[in-house]
Structures are given as C-alpha cells and as structure tokens.
A and B are shown apart, each in its own frame.
Chain A
Amino acid sequence: MALLEVENLRTYFYTRAGIVRAVDNVSFTLEQGETMGIVGESGSGKSVTCYSLLGLIPRPPGRIVSGSALFGGVDLLSCPKEQLRRIQGKRISMIFQDPMTSLNPYMRVSDQLVEPLLVHDRMSRSQALTKAIASLEEVGIQDAANRINLYPHQFSGGMRQRVMIAMALISRPEILIADEPTTALDVTVQAQILELIRQRQKDLGTAVIFITHDLGVVASFCNRVNVMYAGRIVESAPTDEIFNRPMHPYNASLQQSIPALHKKGQALFTIPGFPPDLTVEFHGCPFASRCAHAGDICKEQDPALKQIVPGHKTSCIRFQCGEIADVRSKNFVSAV
C-alpha cells in the first residue's frame, strides 16, 4: 500500500475577484522512502497542494472543496483538527522556501528546535535539547552546543535552512515536504542543501515530496515527477521518462526553455502567452491556447490523466488518442 494516497484534491480560494481554482482535481500517490517531485511555474498550485495536506491553507479565503488524502488509514483532509495536529511535525514535516522568514525571529533556535519533541513526544527539556544539538550537528552546523542558543538573525540563510531541515527531521517523520527549499539561496548553498536533504533522507528512510520549478534539481534529485499546470497534474512519470520521453507538450516546452540547451547568441525558447486566469471556469485543456500541437478537440474535451505505459501518465488528449507522437515544439531549432 502506498504511504500517501491523494485523490481528487480540489482547493479553491474564494476571493473578491472570484473563485480561484488553485488546485483542481489532483491525484497522486507517494511510496515509502521515494522522492517525488512536483514541478510547475509560479501559481500552478504545487505549494497549495502540499499546504492542503497539512491543513496550512488560510481559511478563509481557502477551502478544500473535495478530495481525500489517505495517510496510514487517516484522511488528512477530513480528520479532526487534533488528529491532524498530532501528525503535523511528527509524521509529516515541512520545510519552506524562505529560511529568512520561516524561523521565528523572537525565539532562540534551541526553543524552536526542541518544540516538535516537546509537543509530540512529551520529552523532558534537557533530553530534547541533547537531541536538538545532535540534530544540528547532523545537518552540518559546527559548534552546535553554543550556536543553538543564538537567535535566527545571527545565522546566515544557508544555516537557517539547515536549522529548518534539522527541525523538520528531528522527530523522524515518514514524509518530508520540501517547498522550494533552495529557491531563496545562492547557487553554491543550494547544492549543499540538496545534498544534505538527500543524505538525511538516506539515513532516515523518509519519503520526500519536493516542490520546485527547477527542472535541473528534479533531474538529479527525484525518482518520480508530477508536472503541474494551472492547478492540475498534466504529466506524471519516472524522472528519466519525463526527460527522455515527454508525453505532454507543456512538459516538453518547459524543458526546451532551459537556457543551457541553447547555443550562445541564439534566441531562447519561450512558451508563448500566459497561464490561464484561474478565476475563469474553462473547458478543454488549460494549455491549449499556448500549445503548438493543439487541435479543436483540445478546446472541447476536458482532459484527464491516462496511463500510456506503466508508470507514465499524461493528460494530453491528442497524445492519448495517438494523433501526435512527438510533443516537442516544432518551432524549436535543435541546438544539440
């Protein structure tokens, strides 16, 4: 049985400008110990998906309209608040994008680190502190016994993200949700943090949901990838298949947009147009208006994820009925 089974998750925001369908019918499963990537551009609903699982959607205006998320027999989306709270930070932990604002500036690092142990394991403070110091050492912070007494502003960005990781993993969770954990960091620190997450994951056997918009990170880090667009998963496949056999034009265009594949002096590939306005209800494929392969059917029929080969699903209607085989954009001049 899968560790986490999310089905038909819909999270809407009821704003003055209308209903924003931030997550629209998302389903996926997470196996024990695996690393699953969720890729997509800003506003594609990747973060909201994960916030929904942990009850972190601000309500109002947000509301989980439908769906279930089964985790060890408990539906995270409908279970009582108290039951969810005992899972948060204990069995499912989360690290966030901006380590500068995600730690409490008014509390010592020590007080924040021991909190999951005090809250969930009813450990004594001295015991928890010993464990917290050990956990800081495990994420590569030297002189942890002294530094633990500092405040977050006395740490650098990379160090703060290490503290976040130590805090998230201190209770040995079964799932770690990492919401763009390296986006706010500079490149050299990014690599260190990624390596650290990988290392800790190996040590603890934690499953990781890795949210990012960086395909390079996905390629080196994840076993399986879900590509999200306009609040839906448009393609889901093992990592090498996502890159070598793309089955959705959006995924292919994303990869074609990576500047590294281009020769110097050549115009960069861009996806024309903008993502759809999620407050407007629409029919058909949300990517159709920007897609080089779109036909009439794409605007009429609502797409659904279908498995093409075992483990590889796409929501591209024309690919599903075999009308196109190569989803890459034709206007892309191969530079390789």
Chain B
Amino acid sequence: MKFSILTKAIAGGVALSALLAGAALADPAIIYDGGGKFDASFNEAAYNGAEMYKKETGAGYGELEISSDAQREQFLRQFAERGYSPIITPGYNFVTALESVAPEFPDTHFVILDAVVDLPNVRSVLFKEHEGSYLAGIMAAMKSESGKIGVVPAFNLDLLEAFACGYKQGAKSVNGDIEVLETYIGSGFDAFNDKPKAVEVAKSQLDQGVDVVYQVAGGAGAGVLQAAADAGKFSIGVDSNQNHLYPGSVLTSMVKRVDVATYNAMMDEKNGNWSGGTIVLGLAEDGVGVAFDENNASIVTDDMKAAVEKARQDIISGAVEVHDYRTDQSCPA
C-alpha cells in the first residue's frame, strides 16, 4: 500500500515535470547569484524589480538561487528549455555561462546586469555609477563643515574607483579646496563582508576630521554607516536606499536602480518591446541617483536639493561631463 503511494507520487512527479517541460510559459525568470535572494543589495534589488512586475501585471515569474558554479549553466538551460523569457542574471559572474548558453537558445531573451555579453539575444545593462556618485559628492561637500570628506571603497577595484572618482569630482565642483580621504577596507573580495574592518577604517577617517563619509563596500559598508552614526557625523549609503538605517546620519544614498532594470526588461518582453544590445543607465535614464526621503529630510537643505538638481540637469544636457575612471584608470579630481 505504502509502496503504491510512493510509486504514484513518483509518477506524479514525472508527469508534473513533463507538463512543465511542455508548457510554453512566457514568464520571466531570475537566477540569483551566490549571495542569495535577500542580500540587501544587488540580488535583492533584482527581486524587488520582479515583485514590482508581479504586482503590476499579476503575472508570475520563475526564480532560482544558485549554490554551485556548475548550476549557472544548468539553471539557464532549464529555464530556457521550459520557455521562460527573459531570463535575468544579476552580476558579472554569469558572463561565461551566458556566453555558452545564450547561443543555444536564439529565441530566448537574456539579461545580464553590470557586465556586457555581446550576443543578439542578450541585453547587457550597465550603470553610470560615476554620475550618481558625482551628486553624492556635491551633497557631501555642501554638508561638510571641516572641509574634509571621506570615501571608503572595499578595495582597489576599477568599478569602485569609478564611484570614488565621481564623488571626488562632485565635491571639487562645490569646493575646489576640499580634501577627500580615500581608504580601502581590504585587498580582495572578502573586504565586501569585513564589517568590523569597515568600522575601523571609517573611525580612522572620522578621527582625522572627516565629517561626511561615502561607503562603496557592499555588505561591509553598513559598518561605515554605523561608525558615522556613533560619532554623530554623516555618511552616504550605496546601491540600495540605505537612508533608513541611521536616520539623521545617513545624508543620502547613491542608488543603482537594478530593480528598474529588472522591471523594464520584464515589461519590455511582455509588451513586445524587447531589445538586445547594451543599455547604459545614467542620470538621464533614472538608472542612478541620490535618494531623498523622510529619513534624511531633516539634514538635507533646499540649497543642496537645488544644487543636485542643477548638476543633474547639466550632466543630462552634457554641460557637465563626469569622467569615468574605467575609461583610462585615472581620476582628474
């Protein structure tokens, strides 16, 4: 008796899977990277975008979290074989897997965030982090009373230098004499998780007279925000809106709209507006920006808002050009 239930269940599983395999679902799918779905950062932003899509359209989406590198290709094929499109992969770690899987499914659409895969059915989405950081730099310089501000990247990585460089340019545009301290947390990718070290590095900057510090360090960055809050100084968050973490201390957050990129990809597919190629999201596209909400309303002045808005318009119109560190590995500011 028991055995027959088991065999039925197995048969049921087989039938179910066969059913799934046959159905041509036009639903989108996301494959979260190793950090997991709720990493309070990149993956979670993609998740938020998918939830926005779900709420608005009532349609579902598929999702999987990888737990080993071999699963990247496996999951991509699995979703593609079962008719999901577009399949969204947050992060540059998917480049190699996508390059081998995407050509096998020319009719399926793929999206990669923060990296470029040059294939006709792949949409690559990049962000102009330097533009958003420029605005953050303006606010920092205006808020600073000591004439010293700081930036804390996780480590010496081109991508993070682009944040820091944009920030410096923004600050110098307000006050040509401002001093910008830059200190790395560590020397490798593990620095992204080294919160205790982040606290130490931020404290050291604060002790040297810095009164606004910008964190560019993923998960470890929370330590920077914490150190500034403890010292009664100001900090700037990154990637997601982190203003709520220490209200009254987090001056603003330089947000990267991964959620918007995810949402747009899903909606474009649904509305038949899909396009491949590389999309670069800057201020003009609302892909990056600084966050204003009730948590920082009391510490942001109208002058700051006006200056940020003016700079935003100037960058969009081309009157001001923010140098991207990644183009020549150097920073003019």
The judgment on whether A and B are partners is no
Q: Which residues on B are within 8 Å of A, measured CB to CB?
A: none
